[in-house]
Amino acid sequence: MTTRRVVTRASGAAVIMACAALGPAGCATAPPLDNPVTVRRTEVENPVLVSPGQPTALSYREVFEKCVEVLDDYFDLNTPNPYEGRITTKPRVAPGYEQFWKAGNPDPRLRLLATFQSTRQTASVEIRAAERGGYLVYVVVDKELEDVPRPSRATIGNAVFQEAPTVDRQVEVVTPETAGNRGWIRTGRDYAFEQQILRRIRECR
């Protein structure tokens, strides 16, 4: 009986010492919540302040041309009018993962959706003089989902098999031109894409 009690006490002490040793190690492997390394990338304010200082004709032209340059990398632009202070784009079909080389869809979930469902994006930029100098650039990217109509030959209930000598298969290629003639449902704004554009515009000095 004495031997068993000694073994039991020794085993219990060993377990306590092992837990105490593992405790600090476990905390060391997981950084605290306020660790700066784990903080996400800071978002850019929208509108973003660009080219701080006294507004001039030269600084405005630089900001306007920078916005045109950035948007032109992703979209086909409508005719820019510097006197209006606004730049608009034509809708473009959002790339999915099958077009991995094509930029302009940074959100992984939206890019996955664009892989299986036709979506498109439209952007607009407004440039206004700030009260304390510089220019405020406001970026909006709208996203839309294709409104797919019901197939004209669809039937209700069970499938209907018809005898036909041949099967007429019509393949439709989706292009920006054909996509413009379809119905689209606005589903909100693409904030991830807006942030991508804002970061590039912010580099203007």
Specify the CATH number for the domain of residue 67.
3.30.530.50
Answer yes or no: is 69 within a domain.
yes
Domain count, the chain: 1
pLDDT digits (tens, 9 = 90+) for 22-70: 444 433 333 333 333 333 457 899 999 998 888 889 999 999 999 999 9
pLDDT digits (tens, 9 = 90+) for 84-99: 999 999 999 999 999 9
Answer yes or no: is 155 within a domain.
no
Answer yes or no: is 32 within a domain.
no
Answer yes or no: is 96 within a domain.
yes
Answer yes or no: is 165 within a domain.
no
Q: Provide the residue range defining the domain that includes 103.
A: 52-149+175-205
Answer yes or no: is 38 within a domain.
no
CA distance 177 to 173: 10
